[in-house]
Structure 1
Amino acid sequence: MKPMNPAGTDLAAPPRRGRLNRRHFLRGLGVTVALPVLASLRPTSQFASRALPVGGLGVTPTGAPLRAAFVYVPNGAIPAAWWPAAEGANFPLSRSLQPLEPVKGLVQVLGGLDHQTAGPGPDGVDGSGEHARANGTFLTGVRLKKSATDVHAGISIDQMMARQVGSLTRFSSLELGCDSVRKTAACDSGYSCAYQYNLSWSSPTTPMTPESNPRLVFERLFGTGAPGERRAILQQRRQEQRSLLDSVLEDARSMQRRLNPQDKDKLDQYLTGVREVETRIERAERFGTAQDPGVETPAGIPSDYTQYVQLMYDMLLLAFQTDSTRVATFLVTHEGSNLSFDHIGITEGHHDLSHHQNRPEWVEKVAKIDLWYVQQFARFLEKLDATKDADGNSLLYNSMIVYGSGCADGDSHTHSNLPFLLAGAGGGTLTPGRYVKYGSRPATNLFLDMADRLGVQQLERFGDSTGRLGNI
């Protein structure tokens, strides 16, 4: 008996000539691959149950999906190396921001954003614990309850966004990280580890655990079957075909003549990207342990830290490219991280060095670490900018991506004038390519503006906001 959909249509039968839809192409691709957003494959009125009005919820003024992401790096930044020397559209990139030169026109440097709720409170009542508070308040904007067991923070802005636009995609949000996760016990001065090892919160007591294994991220996005089944499926597929792409080439070739030139390029680019990512993940599984003798590397996690961070950024790129989600967070490394950077010649821990007390050698090393983090972010932005979206603009143009830290200067543990970047043009609703000083405003004011652009309704305040930031 042939499978039927609820309307009684034969699912096995090909669509009538001239009808081009995502379901038919997905059947040819196999369910292990999700499609990029292609204008040629946009639903017709007959299949437009999820279609959105132009400029509506979760879309840009051109009708393409609008994405939001939040990237966190630890321990602040060296102010003298971070902040540009002049404001405005013709601002010179500072030393730490030099890697952004290729995408400078799509990046804003935002000065004067604060997280005062990360401080010790009135009369210093909460005492020490700056790193836990910096991490835990970054996307919540609320004062954390100081406890190792009775955790209480706030709903993070990404989850406020996901509540309204999450139903438009296969995943309401995506949480990524490059740390092992800790949810219990005390970490920083009596604060629960949950505050430091999570960026996203679905409720004041429920953190959204970031996934740190790139293979699991990939399988979550593109895998098939119940947990534990996809490996067998992939093994069988590899025995039958040389690569995952072989299963879709025939359908892809037959479809080439029906796609417009822009979509042909996008499809080729996407399929190449899928093969590249899967190849890198498999390579990490085969050689990761051998490259790190004495320490067993979890399958899918490269032993080279640069490759690891880049691979997680690539997962985020694929998630946005396929419209698998429109809201994401990436906790690159938790606040207070004492990771060493041997790969760039720095053997001391990052946190230890951040307490530099103005010692020139230590300041120089922290500045190099700041630069390394920006280099990885810049690579991600360049790849976003090189990837075309459904409306012909780039993914970066149709995104809003925050990059920052909850500490301003790791030595002084301040939370004013935080290092903040806002990348992307928000589908044409932002004014990137400049350095703007806001004096002293809550960072949550920025989040309200971003939520407005994403279509989040009835959000008059968030955290410690005092209004919209404006002029972004």
Structure 2
Amino acid sequence: MPRQALDRRTFLRSSGIAIGLPFLNAMLPVSAAEARKTATKPKRLFMVGRPLGMHAPNFFPTDAGKDYVPSRYLKHLQSRRDDFTVFSGLSHRYGAGHYAEVGLFTGVHSDFIRPNDIKNGISLDQEVASRLAGQTRFNSLILGGGNASWNRRGVRLPPEYRVGSVFKQLFIQGTVEEAAREMRRIKDGQSILDDVRDQLGSLNKKLGNDDRERLDLYVSSIREAEQKLQQDETWQLTPKPKVEVKLPQELSSAQLVERTRQWYDLVHLAFQTDSTRVVSLWLGSQDKPEIQGVTIGHHDASHHGQDPAKLEQLSLIEEAEMKVFGEFLDKMKASSEGEHSLLDRTSIFHASNLGNASNHDNMNLPIILAGGGYKHAGHIAHDRQNNTLLSNLFVRMVQQMDIDMDKFGSSTGVFSEV
């Protein structure tokens, strides 16, 4: 019977302490060749969220299956037709209007996503990032804005709004003095955490059950901070990858198309250099975008009330967005990684929390799943009135990342169609 490799992330556990094992021969696959092959094939996750929906008649095909006739928007993705699936009839069944933005990537039960009463769970990007922690310089990147990424305690994680700032973190090494200052920050943080941990041990003996539960949450935060500091120390000593790209200039939200292209180019570089394997990106704009034929703001156009003039301007905006997304898919497909492309190795989820922004409807969300090695099936159509839970697709996505999970958010099963 062939030997099964021991997981490299196997730990010895006792009293809440996890001790990582040294590298053992048992952690190697059956052959060294297989080990090298596995090491060069990382899987990645990219989640793109938009706050203002997509006009359904321009987005969804009228027919299902692989032979669907592309809609106005999907025409701009047809160079990658075999590399993505479009879904209709999926949602989280939320009834909270714009508030549902916070649950798009978490998929928690609708009882926990209500106006002024949010009790969120972990988002899919952070669940995957937690399983891949330490393998890259950044466990994840949270980009663009919005309220999409949440940790395991249901706390919102702040995004990076500035393209140039993220580029510097990824690719600009900094001076010797800056590196030394960063190392001092890391060492100081480790020392402080050691002191706090010692004090917690004695304090815990004096508390009741409720306070101990609160303290446990605090201790888990400290453990996460310790792990992050240890990771920072390792990567601080590792040179950043060099790229033949200039520092991008900051653009206004009115420059919607170019700014979106900047973000996609940055994500492509981050994956290409294996600086991270998990990215979430929130793309929203309230301003009037600099697109020919558009004279009103994106938000105003999305709340069209079926006004034909506003609908046409909305269509011009969303069509421009879809063109840039198509460019990104082409660039990912053209980037080789061994026998495959970056697109083949990256699960790309593109969606909005609104099915119809004009009336704040959260049903029948516009969803595309691209790349990732799935069995793409063209247009998969579910009931647009009695929607299938989107979290069932999330379970399929996390399993595609080779993570053993059979439930996520409010899921009731797992997709088998892709």
Asked if TM exceeds 0.5, the reply is: yes
Alignment of 1:187-206 (within 5 A): 197-206=146-155
1:392 Cα shift? 2.1
From 300, 315, 318, the equivalent of 2:269 is 318
Structure 1 residue 137: deviation in Å? Answer: 0.8
State the Cα distance separating 1:50 from its structure 2 match.
Answer: 9.4
Change (3 A) 1:449 1:214: same
What is the match of residue 24 of structure 1? Answer: none
Query: Partners in 2 of 1:162 and 1:64 — Cα distance?
Result: 17
Give the superposition deviation at 1:443: 0.7
SS at match of 2:336: coil
State the match for 2:160 in structure 1. 211
Equivalent position of 2:408 in the other structure: 462
Q: Does 1:168 align with 2:135?
A: yes
Residue 213 of structure 1 aligns with an amino acid whose one-letter code is R
1:141 aligned partner, one-letter code? G
Q: How far did 1:345 drift? A: 2.9
Equivalent in 287, 304, 309 of residue 356 of structure 1: 304
Alignment equivalent of 2:43, drawn from 58, 66, 70: 66
- In structure 2, list runs of 5 or more residues that go unmatched: 1-22, 180-240
For 1:109-124, what aligned pairs fall within 5 Å after superposition? Answer: 109-116=86-93, 118-120=94-96
User: 1:275: which partner in 2?
Assistant: 244
| Structure 1 residues 60 and 72: alpha-carbon distance in aligned structure 2, compared to 1, 3 A threshold | farther
Task: Give the Cα separation in 2 of the matches to 1:326 and 1:101.
Answer: 26
Deviation at 1:168, TM superposition (A): 2.0
Q: 1:138 aligns with which of 93, 104, 112?
A: 104
Deviation at 1:354, TM superposition (A): 1.9
| SS at structure 1 position matched to 2:265 | helix
Q: 2: distance between equivalents of 1:60 and 1:364?
A: 50
d(CA) in 2 for partners of 1:211, 1:403: 19
- SS class of match (2:160): coil
Deviation at 1:203, TM superposition (A): 3.2
Aligned pairs for 1:277-356 within 5 A:
279=246, 281=248, 284=249, 304-333=255-284, 337-356=285-304
* 1:307 positional shift: 2.2
- 2:128/2:398 contact within 8 Å kept: yes
One of 55, 69, 74 as aligned partner of 1:92: 69
Change (3 A) 1:89 1:449: same
* CA offset digits 1:304-330 (Å, max 9, x no partner): 432221111111001111111111101
Matched, 1:411 2:387: no
State whether residues 386 and 394 of structure 1, in contact with CA within 8 Å, keep that contact through their aligned partners in structure 2.
Answer: yes
Q: Out of 322, 325, 340, which is 1:377 matched to?
A: 325
Note if contact 2:149-2:280 (Cα within 8 Å) is conserved in structure 1.
Answer: yes
2:393 pairs with one of 436, 442, 446? 446
Secondary structure of the equivalent of 2:150?
A: strand
Partners of 1:325 and 1:419 lie apart in 2 by 27
| Structure 2 equivalent of residue 434 of structure 1 | 378
1:157 to 118, 124, 137: 124
Calculate the TM-score normalised by the size of structure 1: 0.63
* Cα drift, residue 212 of structure 1: 1.8
Is 1:81 aligned to residue 25 of structure 2? no
Q: CA RMSD in A?
A: 3.1
SS in 2 for 1:348: coil
Q: State the Cα distance separating 1:49 from its structure 2 match.
A: 11
Instruction: Please give the alpha-carbon distance, in whole angstroms, between the structure 2 residues aligned to 1:80 and 1:110.
Output: 14
Count matched residues: 327
Distance 2:295 2:176 in 1: 39
* Counterpart residue number, 2:369: 422
Q: CA deviation at 1:131?
A: 0.8
